[in-house]
Amino acid sequence: MQTTAESLSNVIDAPKPVELSLVVPVFNEEDSVGPLIDRICTAMTGYAEQWELILVDDGSTDATLANARKHVSREGLLLRIVELQRNFGQTAAMQAGIDTAVGRLIATMDGDLQNDPKDIPSMVAELERRELDLLVGWRKNRQDGLFLRKIPSWCANYLIGRITGVKLHDYGCSLKIYRASIIKQVKLMGEMHRFIPAWVAGVVPSSRIGEMVVTHHARQHGQSKYGISRTFRVILDLLSVMFFMRYKARPGHFFGSLGLGLGAISALILVYLFFDKFILGNDIGTRPMLMVGIVLLLSSVQMITTGILAEMIARTYYRDDASPNYIVRQIFDERTNA
């Protein structure tokens, strides 16, 4: 039977729970991963709470994984390496890291040394001070090319802000701090990592999402994994985000609105042609407008029926889904003073 002194000693010696999990996806960053870990360790020296570093190797084909494994037994560093089977993309790698994280807070950043880990402690403090659920880094002095990176990013940030309603200067910055209980409610798919604030706004008010100016460095090693083609993918992803944010639970309204709009145009055309044929006596059999009206009518019927089918599928999904259609943040009870 343990004595009181032994029990107290076990409590004192018990490892502290992880407060912060730092998730870093890496892909072919063999020259950057070692300096990255060094910088993270230096930056987190003054952090009083327990923290862990989760490196997610996204199917690297160079020495990235080998160089990362050299730091597994490093003193003072709680390092976990998640090795993916192949290259799944940054969004999937980030999701793998978030699923693996055990900290109350989760920080994410790029592995190319452009984000500065020295910003992490101050961002954590700012998140807690402002009682936010998500704090996004703002690369105000961005060290990237003007035409291939900055201008497309400015355009994308403007469009995302207008469509989603979440006003931020820099959606694309990977340096973010989350409350784990919030980000684990969001499922990241495709290439949706740049829209994380929009997805988070689906589970918390946008007032609990903020931003903070952070340091940004020019790339030192390797080559960027992104090009101008990313702009077109962003536009397609943005349309998907808009649909899921506004019509996920009522897709019939989306397709039905399109169907009614097309039907109204078709009705105007056909009524005009009816008047032209039977009142004015003109021949309409060879007029292109007749074909346009018929095609719009058929499209209207197709859109409306598609909306009905989508509504049925959505209702079936939510009926079979065990999760409720609401999210409780916490419950205050006078009996427990919680």
- Domain definitions of the chain by residue range: 16-246, 251-320
Residues 6 or more apart whose CB falls under 8 angstroms from that of 7 comprise none
- Inform me whether the pLDDT recorded for 284 exceeds 50: yes
- Inform me whether the pLDDT recorded for 268 exceeds 70: yes
Please tell me the number of Cα atoms within 13 Å of 244 on its side-chain side: 18
| Whole-angstrom distance, CA of residue 202 vs CA of residue 34 | 37
Report the CATH superfamily, name and number, of domain 16-246: Spore Coat Polysaccharide Biosynthesis Protein SpsA; Chain A (3.90.550.10)
What pLDDT sits at residue 124? 96
CB 265 within 8 A of CB 296: yes
Model confidence at 11, pLDDT cuts 50, 70, 90, reads very low
What number is the average pLDDT over the span 113-129? 94
CA angle 120, 124, 130 (to 5 degrees): 140
Positive/negative CA dihedral, 314, 318, 321, 325: positive
- Inform me whether the pLDDT recorded for 55 exceeds 50: yes
- Inform me whether the pLDDT recorded for 10 exceeds 80: no
Position of tokens 């999990």? 21
